[in-house]
Structure 1
Amino acid sequence: MFCTRCGTSVSQESKFCPSCGLDLSTVTPLATGQAPVEQSEEDIVREALKDEYEIIQELGRGGMAIVFRAREKQLDREVAVKVLPFSLAFDAEFVERFQREARTSAKLEHASIIPIYRVGRSGRVIYFVMKFLRGSSLSELLAQRGALPLDELKKMLKETAGALGYAHRNGIVHRDIKPDNIMFDESGHAVVTDFGIAKAGTGTRLTGTGMAIGTPHYMSPEQARAQKLDGRSDIYSLGVVAYQSLVGTVPFDGEDAFSIGYKHITEPLPVPPLKSAEHRRVFEVIEKMMAKAPEDRFQAAEEVMVALDGKPVVIATQPTLAMSAAETAVLPQGAVARRMATQASTPTTPMPRTEPRLVPVKRKRSGVLVGTFFMLVLLGGGGGGAYYYFGVLGNQAPGFLQGVFPPKPQQAAPVPVPDSVALAAQRADSLARDSAAAAQRAAAELPNTGTLTLEGIPTRGRLTVDGEPKEGPKLTLDAGSRRIEITAPGYEKVTLTVAIARGRDTTIAVTMRRPAAQPAGGGPAVEERPEDVCANPGPAYNRNDACYDAPPRATVAPLVPLDERIQGEPTPVTLWIKVSEDGRGLSFQIITHSNDPLFDRTAAGFAMSILYNPAQKDGKPVEGWVRMRLVPQPR
């Protein structure tokens, strides 16, 4: 018997082809010499779902799914059926996570998130049923037009950010935001698709070797490093989409996935030509979205929406309803925020301005009664007191008594005009007192310390101050005379005595010399240049633990995913990687090359993109080289 797809000889008891994985139960068994007859994937899907869905046509396919246009028979509506490729159906863990994440994404109900109607399995067919969108994707739009006008760009970003913000609040990170996954419905409203599918690919098998999940051009730096992600990674990816929609090209490109990821991690964002002030303002928002460090980006997708309107972001702790003349947008939390996130952005209708209208005011009788009562008190014996209070002391009388006790005119206080000599003397005396007081305050406010900066110390130099080890080259020391000793591998010790002044900065250029060696048999001394075992990697590197006590260590296994252009099985690569104090790859040197030059570049890019635990010296992280052997990941 032979497989109808690839022609491999199979036994009659086999259920699946050992070469291509074809389900032999779905095809007609063929004897030797028969022409192969194979069912297409569309025929298999049509047969499996025929009771509930009528498959109309295939809409598209990719590495993660095949999408069909179909009609749901019971509700008589058009839907989209997304099917997991049969090649992935053999991975039980992937299938289980795929279905679980799909069920989670089905709970997301938002105007800018494509609704998932059903998640199911029929035989080998694992599928989603979703709303059918008759519009195009953002990638198709960019392919036709190159870039978007600002108003369309801002509208798309706001609607997409609203969807992401809602998903993030519900614990879902998309992980694969790109133009292909942003669709437009018939009215031009942006809709985010493939929620949960990208996150479903986080099984141990897929990420255990440091393999990054996502599309390289739109990956965040932490995603390229295969680190743990949160919603800020989606904000970065949306920033890449915004950059492409504004400029017409992606910000970082390269010949392979690792070179692109390396640029996302290390290179600054290219600044394109910007036509207007509005273009520059939108680009500033994109810059913040694409900050390398997640803490430097917008911390929530709603902040992107507010920033696009040019307003400051104020996050309220509770739903707040306030009237303010300031241009401040208050983003409520909770149910009110969720309702706001589902509403499309609409212009606000201003309240009409009206002219003030004169309204006749009726005088209240209570004022007349109070005045009458007050007059009776005066006539009843209080007249003398009133005369003293209003007439003598000059206090202002009520309006109805001002005819009896008119207000006294205010007299201006006399202003003395001193002669010029006296005025100059007063000013000089005042300035002298102020200067003396300022000098006393400055002397009192001076700290009891000063700053010492030592320039020219070698990288692995060590220094002590009065016998106590210090970390340089900039030191804050107590005022007074200080004894400084500086040592470094391969250099003579330098001893200095420095006077530290209160509140002063002192800079000293240190010159360290190589020790001179006396040749045998006398004669003039010649300078000996001892080997600096920490300068370059090699056999003598870190001799006697001079460079570090513990070497750098990669945080992931040294298994390099193979580029599709690499043919056959490449041999491993051995190289030196220079690792910084914060665990980033700085440079590399290849020791042993692979038999495939492309794998050399792929392995080097992989080694530069992952994170490391830095080298340790005296319990502190230091820069250091580490030798690594990188092998290809099994296909």
Structure 2
Amino acid sequence: LPSEAGDDLLQRLRLVLAGEYEVEQELARGGMAIVYRATEVGLGRVVALKVLPPDLGLTPRAVERFKREARMVAELDHPNIIPVFRVGQSGTILYIVMKFVEGLALDAILEAQGALPVHTVLYVLRGATRALAYAHECGIVHRDIKGGNLLVDRDGRVLVSDFGVALRAADITLTVDGAVIGTPPFMSPEQCAGRRAGPQSDQYSLGIVAFQMLTGSVPFHADSLAGIMQHHFFTPVPDIGLVRDDAPEALTRILRRVLSKEAADRFPTTGEMLAAIEAIPFSDADRRESERILQQLTQGDAVARVSTRSLPALPETPTLAMNLQRAPRSRGYRLIVRGGGLAAAGLLAGAAVLWVGRASHRRGAMDPETVHPSPPPAPPAALGPSPQQAPSSRAAPGGSGRLRMLTSPPDAEISVDSRRVGVGAVFDVAITAGARRLRVRAPGYETFDTTIVIPAGGTVSLGRVALRTRGGGT
């Protein structure tokens, strides 16, 4: 949110909350909310006032759900969760009154300090996971776990903030310049796909935070939101052992599990995740030393830095730009690959074969400046049918595979065999194995229409599919 919006909102808050709260100053701001320091007039206590500005464009249904979930959060009572005192609305302004915590957010600590000692990482993880396990048992999912929502108070205690107030994409009317829902470096693959975020999504996000505490960096970086999302979908998390030698195998094993691409491969419950973390040796001396280090860091005092090696370079995120151009001699469509070859997009030999275009035994020439490399020739008998015909559904009995892809534009409809399977992204949809007709379409864009082969027990990963605008380039 721009600072001008915050200044205007501050003045409005002081007017509408006069007599109840003395709104003093801005503490922090993000893409979804602004946090102010305020004093509750009746009790004289200092509170944190989190405000969702009216220009966020919430739907009435989203407002009601927000207030309902926030009231549920207000009933949570756990030593590692920041208490919520009140949920309020004044006109189009929604706000939450929370306990004011003297301390620092974990992301500020990591930005200044870098990687933390293993016992301190375990200390933070134990506190945060206890909070999550308790909340999940109460039916509340956080949806935005990150260092900025893990606070460390002056006593070194870890506190989770903003439970239940992370909004879903469907709740937002995007402004002209758009909005980012969630925090991309910490979002689970299913969140990137716009699917429901459950307890396993919080596990994944906390795993990213743990990776950051151990290495000093989040695992996935890219120049764009789409690039980060593609890494969450397709790129294996780097091996922590390549960065530092002292990470316990039991801890790295837990992180590998919670950072699985499939939610079903993570812990069935966060209570089980907590039990696994608490099974790692952690003495009273470790606890005292961790508290001492965190107390010093929250007060701005220096502590010894942890030496780490650099993370390995990430593979380039592939973009499949589906330019539906007429191939010169084949009277069919062709596939133009930008930003990486088909192998980089996950179309590896033995995993899947992508056959593009209308039925033809003759392939048109591919533009060498925009296609690298060309896909392997498909056997003539296996070429896809014409777009007017449904593809053959020959498959191994009972076999199925999965399709993963993102689209540009993000509102493109994805269908397989005329069945709509997603909008903007497909992550974990099961598809009957065999030749399947894939269509991607959006208003104002050329429709991409092709045949893919879904291998039984395998996954076809297409990366990002970019449609070509009608009458122009991509």
Q: TM-score, normalised by structure 2?
A: 0.62
Question: 2:448 is matched with which residue?
Answer: 575
* 8 Å contact kept, 2:59–2:173: no
Q: Tell me how far apart the structure 1 counterparts of residues 171 and 466 of structure 2 sit (CA, whole Å).
A: 34
Cα deviation for residue 271 of structure 1 reads 0.8
Q: Say yes or no: does 1:179 pair with 2:147.
A: yes
Q: Say yes or no: does 1:551 pair with 2:426.
A: no
Q: Tell me how far apart the structure 2 counterparts of residues 102 and 534 of structure 1 sit (CA, whole Å).
A: 55
Cα deviation for residue 186 of structure 1 reads 1.5
Q: Say yes or no: does 1:286 pair with 2:262.
A: no
Of residues 382, 389, 413, the one that matches 1:534 is: 382
Which residue type is aligned with residue 15 of structure 2? E
Question: 2:132 is matched with which residue?
Answer: 164
Of residues 54, 59, 78, the one that matches 2:27 is: 59
Change (3 A) 1:202 1:253: same
Question: 2:266 is matched with which residue?
Answer: 297
Which residue type is aligned with residue 219 of structure 1? M
Percent identity of equivalent pairs: 35
Q: Say yes or no: does 1:133 pair with 2:95.
A: no
Deviations 1:394-436 (A, max 9, x none): xxxxxxxxxxxxxxxxxxxxxxxxxxxxxxxxxxxxxxxxxxx
Q: Say yes or no: does 1:275 pair with 2:244.
A: yes
Change (3 A) 1:308 1:137: same
Question: 1:243 is matched with which residue?
Answer: 211
Q: Say yes or no: does 1:593 pair with 2:459.
A: no
Q: Tell me how far apart the structure 2 counterparts of residues 129 and 555 of structure 1 sit (CA, whole Å).
A: 40
Change (3 A) 1:258 1:52: same
Q: Say yes or no: does 1:108 pair with 2:76.
A: yes
Deviations 1:550-579 (A, max 9, x none): 72644234699xxxxxxxx99525334646
Deviations 1:175-222 (A, max 9, x none): 11111111111211111111111156654979xxxx995322112222
Cα deviation for residue 596 of structure 1 reads 12
Cα deviation for residue 66 of structure 1 reads 1.3
Deviations 1:70-129 (A, max 9, x none): 111111111011111120366322222221111111111111111110111223332111
Which aligned pairs between 1:218-367 and structure 2 lie closer than 5 A? Answer: 218-272=186-240, 273-310=242-279
* 8 Å contact kept, 2:24–2:37: yes
Q: Which of these two proteins has the greater Rg computed from alpha carbons?
A: 1
Question: 1:518 is matched with which residue?
Answer: none
Of residues 37, 41, 51, the one that matches 1:73 is: 41
Which residue type is aligned with residue 52 of structure 2? L
Cα deviation for residue 257 of structure 1 reads 2.2
Change (3 A) 1:201 1:164: farther
Q: Tell me how far apart the structure 2 counterparts of residues 47 and 304 of structure 1 sit (CA, whole Å).
A: 46
Question: 1:317 is matched with which residue?
Answer: none
Q: Tell me how far apart the structure 2 counterparts of residues 288 and 103 of structure 1 sit (CA, whole Å).
A: 32
Change (3 A) 1:199 1:110: farther
Cα deviation for residue 594 of structure 1 reads 3.0
Q: Report how many residues are paired.
A: 342
Deviations 1:423-467 (A, max 9, x none): xxxxxxxxxxxxxxxxxxxxxxxxxxxxxxxxxx9x99xxxxxxx
Q: Tell me how far apart the structure 2 counterparts of residues 141 and 246 of structure 1 sit (CA, whole Å).
A: 13
Of residues 54, 63, 78, the one that matches 1:86 is: 54
The runs of 5 or more residues in structure 1 that have no matched partner are: 1-21, 23-37, 312-326, 328-344, 348-456, 461-488, 491-528, 561-568, 601-635
Deviations 1:327-351 (A, max 9, x none): 9xxxxxxxxxxxxxxxxx979xxxx
SS across alignment from 1:556: strand
Which aligned pairs between 1:373-452 and structure 2 lie closer than 5 A? Answer: none
Change (3 A) 1:106 1:530: closer
Cα deviation for residue 299 of structure 1 reads 2.1
The runs of 5 or more residues in structure 2 that have no matched partner are: 289-349, 354-358, 361-376, 396-415, 427-441
Change (3 A) 1:218 1:228: same
SS across alignment from 2:382: coil
Q: Tell me how far apart the structure 1 counterparts of residues 466 and 287 of structure 2 sit (CA, whole Å).
A: 61
Deviations 1:298-328 (A, max 9, x none): 22223333323446xxxxxxxxxxxxxxx9x
Q: Tell me how far apart the structure 1 counterparts of residues 183 and 466 of structure 2 sit (CA, whole Å).
A: 31
- Name which of structure 1's ranges 134-143 and 569-578 shifts more when overlaid on structure 2: 569-578
Q: Tell me how far apart the structure 2 counterparts of residues 44 and 52 of structure 1 sit (CA, whole Å).
A: 14
Q: Tell me how far apart the structure 2 counterparts of residues 39 and 137 of structure 1 sit (CA, whole Å).
A: 23
Question: 2:159 is matched with which residue?
Answer: 191
Structure of higher RCO (CA pairs closer than 8 Å, 6+ residues apart): 2
Q: TM-score, normalised by structure 1?
A: 0.48
* 8 Å contact kept, 2:193–2:425: no
Change (3 A) 1:300 1:531: closer
Change (3 A) 1:247 1:547: same
Change (3 A) 1:221 1:124: closer
